[in-house]
Amino acid sequence: MGIGADQTDYPKRELMEEIKVSAAKLKETLKQLIREGNVRRVILRNSEGRTLLDMPLAAGLVGALLLPFWVAVGAVVALATDFTILVERDPDLPAKK
């Protein structure tokens, strides 16, 4: 295929990572992931695998823009004791250290 080739021939690379955490470490783990800067989406599931939160994140979100995210996380913490965080990363953005 030459010029004008269909873009679907080259699927976008995405990285998914699964992290298991307790309710006590949930907020700190999420803060660390967001600080890395290459997280595109966070899915939070309880120990039975039920999705409690599915939130897209844009690179560079800080402060007050994350308030709805943290309110939702606070509400979810009351629902379970063990969580699985599914993290979708953007492979084109390097992680901050």
Domain ranges of the chain: 19-89
Tell how far CA 66 is from the center of its chain. Answer: 13
Total number of residues shown for the chain: 97
Secondary element (H or E) of residue 41: strand 39-46
| pLDDT exceeds cutoff 70 at 74 | yes
Torsion sign over Cα 29, 34, 39, 45: positive
> Is the model's pTM score more than 0.85?
no
CB-side exposure of 45: number of CA atoms within 13 Å? 13
Confidence of residue 1 (pLDDT cuts 50, 70, 90): very low
Q: What is the pLDDT of residues 12-68, one digit of tens each?
A: 556 789 999 998 898 889 888 878 878 888 899 999 999 988 888 765 555 556 667
Query: Given this model, what pLDDT does residue 14 score?
Result: 61
